[in-house]
A and B are shown apart, each in its own frame.
Chain A
Amino acid sequence: MDLSAINPLVLLASLMVAATPILLAAIGELVVEKAGVLNLGVEGMMITGAICGFAIAVETGSPFLGFICAAIGAALLSLIFAFLTQFLLSNQVATGLALTLFGLGLSSLLGQSYVGIKPPATDKLHLPVLSDLPVLGPVLFSHDLMVYVSLAIVAGVWALLKYTRLGLVLRAVGENHDAAHALGYKVIRIRIAAIAFGGACAGLGGAYLSLVRVPQWTEGMTAGAGWIALAIVVFASWKPWRVLLGAYLFGGVTVLQLNLQAAGMAIPVEYLSMSPYLITILVLVIMSSGKGRAALNAPAALGRVFHASS
């Protein structure tokens, strides 16, 4: 084993790239869950975004258009979920699982003629001064635009939830939809908007995988990233900055695992692959045993069907 082959700076730089897809998907899901909806279809929306983005980028030659269409495609898919759960009042867990399976199937169908093609390259940004800084420059300031967009979304979601009226209404809907309805807020409309936002974010995350991180199209290429995103939301106890921490932590584990494999580590890497889920289970146990604020931060109406009586 030769750990000296692992360069911490390169590790850090590749960590940001590795974490971006799950960060995008997780911050979208956080908004959905804050509105009181549990959408387990993240994996399906991600992979649909991955193929939509990939196909459009290949056809038009523009990765930018690819990302836009990935967000739109996945948001459309999430609207199927929204229609089923919000209007037909179907069970959110079952519908979400169905959405994942549907998304996986749909994406392989759409992607049949794109296997083995190379997408147009997404440019790395070159920021004046910042990118030229020694050490920090290559590690933090020389990534493609999407890395910074994902960070901006996290900051935006945080500010929205904390400081704006829209954020307050969103939290209120997720906390007690009957009371929100009684006060005259449009519970279903707000939830549909949140679901579509979550879909768009998951789509961006998927497209980042197929256009930047890998970059090519293979069936089932998200390989559980959507489930990690769901786990991160719980791990972060529904707080935006902790989602960032969780995504970078779990992204780091993914990168580290590859590096350790290359370095010939003695313990099986599967243990590292398991670790995000183990940590999530641990957090869930700690949360449910503690009766204080931690347990409270979960939206109280999460996963409950809203039906406006009267």
Chain B
Amino acid sequence: MTTGTDHHLIEIDGLTKAYPGVVANDDVSFRIKPGEVHALLGENGAGKSTLVKMIYGLVKPDSGTMRLNGAPFAPAEPRAARASGVAMVFQHFSLFEALTVAENVALGMEDPPGQRELAHRIREVSETYGLPLDPDRLVGDLSAGERQRVEIIRCLLQDPRLLIMDEPTSVLTPQEVDILFETLRKLSSEGTAILYISHKLEEIRALCDSATILRLGKVVGECTPREVSARDMAEMMVGTTLHVPTREAGKGGEVLLKVSGLSVASTTPFGTTLKNVHFEVRAGEVLGIGGVAGNGQDELLAALSGETLAPPDAVSLRGRPIGQLGPNARRRIGVLAAPEERLGHAAAPDMSLTENALLTGVIREELATGGFVNWPKTRSFAERIIAAFDVRTPGPDNAARALSGGNLQKFVIGREILQKPDVLVVNQPTWGVDASAAAAIRQALLDLAAEGAAIVVISQDLDELMEISDRFAALNEGRLTAPRPAKGLTVDEIGLMMGGAHDMEAAHA
């Protein structure tokens, strides 16, 4: 191998890929040296995923060339990319829950050794890189962090020269992120190049040697992350100056929502059971609930929205027990919710925005009389949501499926906020939404709180929670820590709360 300063592991020149109606990548070029940790930075929809899919052989570029170690590189399929030493850890895990760790690893390898030999090698590699893993366990029983280890070890067993990581930290606790970074630094020191995709700027500043910034499919800048501020990178990414929500510290009025001793068994095989959850939210207050994905967030939202019923006294509104009320009964008294999964849970994908507006708004907005739908009124409700939340769509007759993730998210959050709830519960309100729209959604939530509503924000984005919460609590394996004032919490304290320190529970009456 010719190692010189001008030697590059991979050279990407003028890659272009267009889909009907959108150019995902437009003349993208960059280079990575062996052992370099290179960040690919951009908002959702900037074309990061399409770009790495081309490198990994999942998508064929329309034009442009790639060279790997100086030789032309045009993988026809992932198999070919893997054979050339390119490995990828996916954003949404590409794992099989009903198969064991060893079987999952074998599926990602070209020529897996026998089961016993493979199990031995998994143990060996996982010890070397400080990522303990039992090859015989079912993946469905693993935590999100452990699942990511499976993916990483699957890649490492192939001795990759280039490791692509697509938003690897979104499901990890701060402590797990530290472990991951240790592993990546070790790999990089051994000469493996890493292409690291993220929109978390502080992480990139901590880890990466260089960065390429994408906006709307084009390269808009390159920088050395350690030398520029996160804010500068963010502004390059977004293209405008960021608007940060303004927050006046809420004084807190009467207790609106009170949850005491809430225990709900999960309804799905890999779900989490809620165990003795306590908290209360006052009028005008935002309670932020953090935690790694899959620790009971969905179950908590379902218990608060009325999708799963609880003992009457476990959930109460202004002292009135509502645990046995279903979603519509709760909407009637002002308890609204917006779940995480947009398509299929918050919105019916193939129904129009007008129809989707009717689905949750029919009661509070009085969109039906005597069982007959008042379509003009429903349509104008949908139009109000679209106007108030800047939903980019040709009109309310479009199907929910046709909207991009961020726009649909603005619609489903806006639909609940415009109904003027007393209590609003949202899960991942800005997931997959670009930075300026996310800021608008957060501001709308804060405005709602300022008008006297009690708001519960469940999110995996700690920066978001720190920005808008008055108090913060964390879910861990279905248990909720005692809420603490968000102001002054350090990352270490938050990490401990998320990682399962229950010493605060004693302090809770």
Q: Indicate with 1 or 0, residue by residue over B339-379, a CB within 8 angstroms of chain A CB atoms.
A: 00000000000000000000000000000000000000000
CB within 8 Å of B: which of A141-192? 165, 168-169, 171-172, 175-176, 178-180, 182-185
Please count the residue pairs between chain A and chain B whose beta carbons lie under 8 angstroms apart in the complex. 62
From A168, A175, A185, contact of B106 by CB (8 A)? A168
Q: A168-B106, A172-B107, A310-B53 are in contact. Are A184 and B79 (CB under 8 A)?
A: yes
Q: A183-B108, A310-B58 are in contact. Are A175 and B99 (CB under 8 A)?
A: yes
Q: A165-B106, A172-B107 are in contact. Are A300 and B94 (CB under 8 A)?
A: no
Instruction: Decide: B106 and A296 in contact? CB cutoff 8 A.
Output: no
Q: Indicate with 1 or 0, residue by residue over B15-53, a CB within 8 angstroms of chain A CB atoms.
A: 000000000000000000000000000000000001001
From A179, A291, A296, contact of B95 by CB (8 A)? A179
B side interface size, CB within 8 A: 27
Residues of chain A within 8 A of B269, CB atoms compared: 291-292, 295-296
Instruction: Decide: A175 and B96 in contact? CB cutoff 8 A.
Output: yes
Residues of chain B within 8 A of A299, CB atoms compared: 98
Residues of chain B within 8 A of A182, CB atoms compared: 58, 78, 90, 94
Tell me whether B299 is interfacial, beta carbon within 8 Å.
no
Q: Which of A165, A182, A183, A297 has the most CB of B within 10 A?
A: A183
Q: Shortest Cβ distance from B97 into chain A, in angstroms? A: 7
Q: A168-B106, A182-B78 are in contact. Are A300 and B97 (CB under 8 A)?
A: yes
Q: Indicate with 1 or 0, residue by residue over B83-120, a CB within 8 angstroms of chain A CB atoms.
A: 00000001001111111000100111000100000000
Q: Shortest Cβ distance from A162 into chain B, in angstroms? A: 10
Residues of chain B within 8 A of A176, CB atoms compared: 94-97
With both beta carbons as reference points, the residue of chain A lying nearest to B266 in the complex is identified as A291
Residues of chain A within 8 A of B138, CB atoms compared: 296
Dominant SS at the A interface?
A: helix
Residues of chain A within 8 A of B108, CB atoms compared: 183
Instruction: Decide: B103 and A168 in contact? CB cutoff 8 A.
Output: yes
From A171, A172, A183, contact of B78 by CB (8 A)? A183
Residues of chain B within 8 A of A171, CB atoms compared: 96, 98-99
Residues of chain B within 8 A of A179, CB atoms compared: 93-96
Instruction: Decide: A175 and B97 in contact? CB cutoff 8 A.
Output: yes
Q: Shortest Cβ distance from A127 into chain B, in angstroms? A: 35
Q: Kindly state the separation between the CA atoms of A175 and B104 in the bound complex, as whole angstroms.
A: 11
Instruction: Decide: B98 and A175 in contact? CB cutoff 8 A.
Output: yes
What is the interface of chain B, defined by CB distance below 8 A to chain A? 50, 53, 57-59, 77-79, 82, 90, 93-99, 103, 106-108, 112, 138, 140, 266, 268-269
Q: Shortest Cβ distance from A136 into chain B, in angstroms? A: 36
Which 4 A/B pairs are nearest by Cβ-Cβ distance?
A184-B78, A179-B94, A175-B96, A182-B94
Q: Kindly state the separation between the CA atoms of A178 and B268 in the bound complex, as whole angstroms.
A: 21
Residues of chain A within 8 A of B82, CB atoms compared: 184
Dominant SS at the B interface?
A: loop
Residues of chain B within 8 A of A291, CB atoms compared: 266, 268-269
Residues of chain A within 8 A of B98, CB atoms compared: 171, 175, 296-297, 299-300
From A172, A185, A292, contact of B99 by CB (8 A)? A172
**Given A171-B99, A291-B269, 18 other A-B residues pairs in contact with their CB atoms under 8 A:** A165-B106, A165-B112, A168-B99, A168-B103, A168-B106, A175-B98, A176-B96, A179-B93, A179-B94, A179-B96, A182-B78, A185-B107, A295-B269, A296-B97, A296-B138, A300-B98, A310-B58, A310-B59
With both beta carbons as reference points, the residue of chain B lying nearest to A297 in the complex is identified as B98
Q: Kindly state the separation between the CA atoms of A165 and B58 in the bound complex, as whole angstroms.
A: 22
Residues of chain A within 8 A of B59, CB atoms compared: 310
Q: Kindly state the separation between the CA atoms of A179 and B147 in the bound complex, as whole angstroms.
A: 14
Q: Kindly state the separation between the CA atoms of A175 and B59 in the bound complex, as whole angstroms.
A: 23
Residues of chain A within 8 A of B112, CB atoms compared: 165
Residues of chain A within 8 A of B78, CB atoms compared: 182-184
With both beta carbons as reference points, the residue of chain B lying nearest to A169 in the complex is identified as B107
What is the interface of chain A, defined by CB distance below 8 A to chain B? 165, 168-169, 171-172, 175-176, 178-180, 182-185, 291-292, 295-297, 299-300, 310
Residues of chain A within 8 A of B50, CB atoms compared: 310
Residues of chain B within 8 A of A292, CB atoms compared: 269
Q: Shortest Cβ distance from A238 into chain B, in angstroms? A: 10
Q: Shortest Cβ distance from A132 into chain B, in angstroms? A: 42
Q: Shortest Cβ distance from B216 into chain A, in angstroms? A: 18
Q: Which of B94, B106, B266 has the most CB of A within 10 A?
A: B94
Q: Shortest Cβ distance from A194 into chain B, in angstroms? A: 17
Residues of chain B within 8 A of A165, CB atoms compared: 106, 112
Q: A171-B99, A300-B97, A310-B59 are in contact. Are A183 and B53 (CB under 8 A)?
A: no
Residues of chain B within 8 A of A180, CB atoms compared: 96, 107
Q: Kindly state the separation between the CA atoms of A297 and B269 in the bound complex, as whole angstroms.
A: 11
Q: Kindly state the separation between the CA atoms of A165 and B77 in the bound complex, as whole angstroms.
A: 19
Q: Kindly state the separation between the CA atoms of A182 and B79 in the bound complex, as whole angstroms.
A: 10
Q: Shortest Cβ distance from B141 into chain A, in angstroms? A: 10
With both beta carbons as reference points, the residue of chain B lying nearest to A310 in the complex is identified as B59
Residues of chain A within 8 A of B77, CB atoms compared: 184
Residues of chain A within 8 A of B94, CB atoms compared: 176, 178-179, 182-183
Q: Kindly state the separation between the CA atoms of A179 and B90 in the bound complex, as whole angstroms.
A: 9
Q: Kindly state the separation between the CA atoms of A296 and B138 in the bound complex, as whole angstroms.
A: 11
Instruction: Decide: A296 and B140 in contact? CB cutoff 8 A.
Output: yes
Residues of chain B within 8 A of A185, CB atoms compared: 107
Q: Which of B93, B96, B106 has the most CB of A within 10 A?
A: B96
Q: Kindly state the separation between the CA atoms of A304 and B112 in the bound complex, as whole angstroms.
A: 29
Q: Shortest Cβ distance from B295 into chain A, in angstroms? A: 18
Residues of chain B within 8 A of A184, CB atoms compared: 57-58, 77-79, 82
Residues of chain B within 8 A of A169, CB atoms compared: 107
Q: Kindly state the separation between the CA atoms of A237 and B57 in the bound complex, as whole angstroms.
A: 37
Residues of chain B within 8 A of A296, CB atoms compared: 97-98, 138, 140, 269
With both beta carbons as reference points, the residue of chain A lying nearest to B79 in the complex is identified as A184
Residues of chain A within 8 A of B96, CB atoms compared: 171-172, 175-176, 179-180
Q: Kindly state the separation between the CA atoms of A184 and B269 in the bound complex, as whole angstroms.
A: 28
Q: Kindly state the separation between the CA atoms of A310 and B106 in the bound complex, as whole angstroms.
A: 25
Residues of chain B within 8 A of A175, CB atoms compared: 96-99
With both beta carbons as reference points, the residue of chain B lying nearest to A182 in the complex is identified as B94
Q: Which of A168, A175, A178, A297 has the most CB of B within 10 A?
A: A175
13 contacts between A and B (CB under 8 A): A169-B107, A171-B98, A176-B96, A179-B93, A179-B94, A179-B96, A183-B94, A183-B107, A184-B82, A296-B98, A299-B98, A310-B50, A310-B53
Q: Kindly state the separation between the CA atoms of A185 and B79 in the bound complex, as whole angstroms.
A: 9
Residues of chain A within 8 A of B268, CB atoms compared: 291
Residues of chain B within 8 A of A183, CB atoms compared: 78, 94, 107-108
Instruction: Decide: A168 and B107 in contact? CB cutoff 8 A.
Output: yes
